[in-house]
């Protein structure tokens, strides 16, 4: 069974995934895989540099994510072009990771901030939404990423509205309290998922 774990920026998706990992559950992060497919030497990086120009590359030839982010958040058409190049490659690579993890885990988590937006929810059996109020998302992201409030708000605007995400989720973890509270919810869901798998 594949569980799609999602939530808005700053909701604590990776923290929750690591909590499941402590219980022996394998997980793959779509963001990590998205970075893999645009790494040095990957065909997607070549296509991006040809399309946007070399100013989206660092001096060592790696992708300048900040420069690219600025372009795609200002121009939705450029974002669509980028997604058309990266999403199929990400999907293919995700399956490789998931199939490897399935061999050692009763179920697998696919962690993806854009699970519903990218259509990756069609790859999973159930969806788990990590939920926090938008004010907390903003606070956590500003503290963690060192980006401007304008950029965080642009990212929030590009993601599904909170109510819509919650409506689409099969399961929800409220991650607005402390670590112990989150862990209690993870343990309960883990037992539920294992029961479904049996």
Task: Return the percentage of the chain with pLDDT > 70, whole number.
Answer: 100
| Residue 15 in tokens | 């923290």
Secondary structure letter of residue 39 according to DSSP: S
Contact in structure between 174 and 185 (CB atoms under 8 Å):
yes
Strand order in the sheet with 108-111: 26-29, 108-111, 2-6, 126-131, 171-174
| Residue 161 in tokens | 């509205």
3-state secondary structure 42-88: CHHHHHHHHHHCHHHECCCCCECHHHHHHHHHHCHHHHHHHHHHHHH
> pLDDT of 45-99, one tens digit each?
999 999 999 999 999 999 999 899 889 988 989 999 999 999 899 989 999 999 9
> pLDDT of 171-197, one tens digit each?
999 999 999 999 999 999 999 999 999
**How far is Cα of residue 40 from the mean position of the Cα atoms in its chain?**
21
pLDDT band at 157 (very low <50, low <70, confident <90, very high): confident
pTM score = 0.85
**Mean pLDDT to the nearest integer, 147-153:** 82
CA pair distance 101, 105, nearest whole angstrom = 6
Secondary structure letter of residue 177 according to DSSP: S
CA pair distance 73, 67, nearest whole angstrom = 10
The torsion defined by the Cα of 92, 5, 7 and 36, in degrees rounded to 10, comes to -30
């Amino acid at each position: 069974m594949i569980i799609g774990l999602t939530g808005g920026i700053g909701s604590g998706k990776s923290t929750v995934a690591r909590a499941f990992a402590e219980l022996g559950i394998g997980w793959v992060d779509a963001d990590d895989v998205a970075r893999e497919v645009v790494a040095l030497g990957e065909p997607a990086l070549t296509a991006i540099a040809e399309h946007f120009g070399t100013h989206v590359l660092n001096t060592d030839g790696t992708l300048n994510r900040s420069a690219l982010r600025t372009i795609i958040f200002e121009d939705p058409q450029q974002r669509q072009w980028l997604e058309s190049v990266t999403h199929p490659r990400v999907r293919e690579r995700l399956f490789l990771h998931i199939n490897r993890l399935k061999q050692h885990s009763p179920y697998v988590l696919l962690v993806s901030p854009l699970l519903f937006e990218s259509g990756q929810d069609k790859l999973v059996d159930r969806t788990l939404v990590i939920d926090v109020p938008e004010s907390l998302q903003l606070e956590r992201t500003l503290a963690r990423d060192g980006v401007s409030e304008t950029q965080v708000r642009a990212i929030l605007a590009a993601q599904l509205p909170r109510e819509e995400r919650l409506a689409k989720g099969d399961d929800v973890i409220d991650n607005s309290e402390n670590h112990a509270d989150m862990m209690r919810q993870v343990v309960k869901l883990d037992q539920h998922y294992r029961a479904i798998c049996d």
